[in-house]
Structure 1
């Protein structure tokens, strides 16, 4: 670029010399040929300058396009990042019922839970540990509910049995009273019709 500017300056300087008073006495044909050569040189330099300008504009446009694409990709990533951060915040703020469920303490869980539910791999994984504690709590509550239902049914059965015993005793007492009040029928008269 600097060489081209120097070449242009030299060509223009030579053209100025041709029109200066020092060259008035020179052969006009020789000056015309020399001037044509200098103008041709200037035109060539101008074409080269235009070609270089177009090449630089193209390179600049390509670089700008690439930079715009990169910027667009960055904006998309930032948008995605913000979206994911909002989703993470929503998940962190989500109040699940499991947070309000009274669970066995961690020590009680370690003592009472089955071995496969409290292995080292589970204890080192907080998520799996919470899942196992919740599952254990559910199983214990179901077992407790079954025991309560069983005790309730046993109490109901005992109550029914005692009422049956009371009824049986009352029936026996009534039978005894009936036997005392009504004289027994002799065995020989049982088959004879009762006169009506």
Structure 2
């Protein structure tokens, strides 16, 4: 009873019931044979043979039913094993997928953490404070942090582009002044050369004039000396 109470599967219960009926029928046949031996009958009567044949047919019917149930039970066990194996494979596949999802989740969380801790270049830009930007551009007061940051970066870009244009204009102006200065330096250099040349010519005239004056003075001195001797 304890074993039978543990079995609840309908197919197995029917097998046990059929086995119990076959056992009872076998015991009934044994009882019948013992009765024949107890009577010390030399030969079985026709009635006894018919009764024994009937009991054997009933036993054969129970055994046939038991074999059929046993075959069905074996097929059911095979089917159950196959279903269990397929279910186990499916569970293993689902477990593997779950592990892959876990690893992917951990990887994505690592990527998210890396992105959150990444030192973006825009954080190093010397942008104007948010309060000053909103004071200059009140249309962004209700913007989200993302949109506000993009607007501030664009404003910084526009300011830098304007400064770059001013730098280019000043550089062009500087280049023009440098070119003009170099031209004037060349002109002054040429003028200095002309002046040096003119001064050099004046020095030659001066030396010629001084030599002439010296000759005149020498001639006068000679003339005066002669007059003194004559006198």
Render the CA deviation track for 1:126-168: whole Å, top value 9, x for unaligned. Answer: 223212211211221232344355457667877968xx6xx99
Tell whether the 8 Å contact from 1:11 to 1:41 is kept in structure 2 after alignment. no
**How far apart, CA to CA, are the structure 2 residues paired with 1:114 and 1:149?**
31
Aligned-residue Cα RMSD (Å) equals 3.7
Render the CA deviation track for 1:33-69: whole Å, top value 9, x for unaligned. Answer: 3332232122122112112222322332332233233
Render the CA deviation track for 1:58-100: whole Å, top value 9, x for unaligned. Answer: 3323322332332222222222212211211221222222212
1:46 and 2:70 matched: yes
Which residue matches 2:155? 136
Tell whether the 8 Å contact from 1:103 to 1:134 is kept in structure 2 after alignment. yes
- Residues matched between the structures, number: 167
Which residue matches 1:186? none
**TM-score when normalising by structure 1:** 0.64
Larger RCO (CA under 8 A, 6+ residues apart): 2
**Rg larger for:** 2
Structure 1: which 5+ residue stretches go unaligned? 183-196
More helix by share: 2
Secondary structure of the corresponding residue to residue 119 of structure 2: coil
**How far apart, CA to CA, are the structure 2 residues paired with 1:63 and 1:54?**
14
Structure 2: which 5+ residue stretches go unaligned? 1-9, 37-47, 203-231
**How far apart, CA to CA, are the structure 2 residues paired with 1:148 and 1:78?**
55
Matches within 5 A, 1:12-27: 12-20=23-31, 23-25=34-36, 26-27=48-49
Which residue matches 2:84? 60
Tell whether the 8 Å contact from 2:18 to 2:62 is kept in structure 1 after alignment. no
Would the alpha carbon gap of residues 53 and 77 (structure 1) be closer, same or farther in structure 2, given more than 3 Å must change? Answer: same
Q: 1:69 aligns with which of 93, 99, 103?
A: 93
1:84 and 2:95 matched: no
Which residue matches 1:3? 14
**How far apart, CA to CA, are the structure 2 residues paired with 1:127 and 1:139?**
18
